[in-house]
Amino acid sequence: RCHTNPSMDSFLSQPTDHNHAPNPERIPVIELNNKIKARAVISEESTSTILHSSLRTFPLSATSELPRTEMLMQTIRRQRQTPITTSTDQLSGDLRKTYRGEEFLLHEEEHMIIFTTKSNLTALKQSKHWFADGTFKDDFRPETILSDFESGTIKTIKEMLPNTTHKGCLFHFGQCVWRQVQSKGVSTKYQEDENFRLNVKMLIGLAFLPLSDVITGFDLVAGEFNDDDADDLLDYFERTWIGEPKRRGVGRKKPQFDIPLWNFYDRVMANLPRPNNSVEGWHNAFANRVTVAHPTIQKLAEKIRCEQSKFEVDIAHLLQGHQPKSKKTCHRKLDERIARLVRDYDPLRISQYLKSIAVNVSL
């Protein structure tokens, strides 16, 4: 630094020499920063994994110069920020095709990209039963669709596929009830009171009654709760899944979700799957393979291409006559028990039937 007069044509004081002692502890910090930045760009590991791994050999003598953990994590995340792109240059040519050269990019706009192939669509079109988190318009006519209870999904399927039997997923049905158990403040009672827990699970068991007996079954289950703790839960269930009684005492109002949507009696009798666990399982597994919470569109597209390659192998195996992956023994035996109970249903013993179903379901 130097000082001049106002006209800046002469120096008032000469710059001083800076003579600091060397600070070798800064060198490992600089090396660490360079290391985590480079690793963030080429690796798909989580932010914390990169940092913890890079700190394994960091010299303890230099920790006084080390930035806070939050700052180091931010450094890694900053390297991974998605570049601003337009709808026409989001993906390179390679990412628009599968590894086997088939066109893979079905639709692209600024806020939505759809990946699939003609072969995928043909296989989907030939499938009688779909397991979905949503749908889109095309020339498809599946016999049944199993999905969650998202209102948008329900509305779309009803509009686009009016002749398809749409069922909600049993797993999501149970999750809806469980969230209400928690929000109504009776989760502790559910865990500690065996009778209360059985009664709540009997509500799930209503899904396995013939449609004509569901309301009768609900009235029986409601009578099993012997205290006021369940009033809010029962009000929710009646309003959402059964329909509240009309004021004049004749019939019931329309529930939020029609009974046929969450009733599985006919589906069990036809030996069709009830839960959407295969879809949920794939989502969880795919998230683990991606490894980062917010990948760039390029990295995500590359992961989807890898999934497509595996799907092509799986489909080829099935077409060649290979057996699909079998259920776990515990799940197969559970299905067999429920199917046996449903086949032996006696309308004169509804309460006992619901208790038997209840011990075989979980929230």
Q: Long-range contacts for 269-272 (Cβ within 8 Å, ≥24 apart)?
A: 269/342, 269/343, 271/339, 272/129, 272/144
Residues paired with residue 114 on neighbouring β-strands, in sequence order: 107
Q: How many CB atoms lie within 10 A of CB 357?
A: 22
Summarize pLDDT for 239-250 with one digit per residue, the tens: 999 999 988 778
Q: How many CB atoms lie within 10 A of CB 196?
A: 21
- In this structure, are residues 343 and 265 in contact, taking their beta carbons and an 8 Å threshold? no
The dihedral built from the CA positions of residue 187, 189, 190 and 192, taken in this order, carries a sign that is positive
Residue 4, φ and ψ in degrees, nearest 5: -125, 170
* Mean pLDDT computed over 208-236: 94
pLDDT for 3: 62
Instruction: Please report, rounded to a whole number, the percentage of residues in the chain having pLDDT higher than 90.
Output: 36
Task: For residues 110 and 89, give the distance between their C-alpha atoms in angstroms, rounded to a whole number.
Answer: 10
Residue 116, φ and ψ in degrees, nearest 5: -175, 175
pLDDT(10) > 90: no
Task: For residues 44 and 331, give the distance between their C-alpha atoms in angstroms, rounded to a whole number.
Answer: 34
Among 120, 119, 149, 124, CA closest to 134: 149
pLDDT for 338: 94
Which tops the pLDDT comparison, 348 or 227?
348
Q: In one letter, which amino acid is 128? A: K
Does the pTM surpass 0.85? The reply is: no
Which tops the pLDDT comparison, 136 or 317?
317
- Report angle CA 333, 241, 160 to the nearest 5 degrees: 90
* Mean pLDDT computed over 313-332: 82
pLDDT(161) > 90: no
pLDDT(129) > 70: yes
Mean pLDDT of the chain: 84
Least confident among 81-95, 119-133, 214-228, 299-313: 81-95
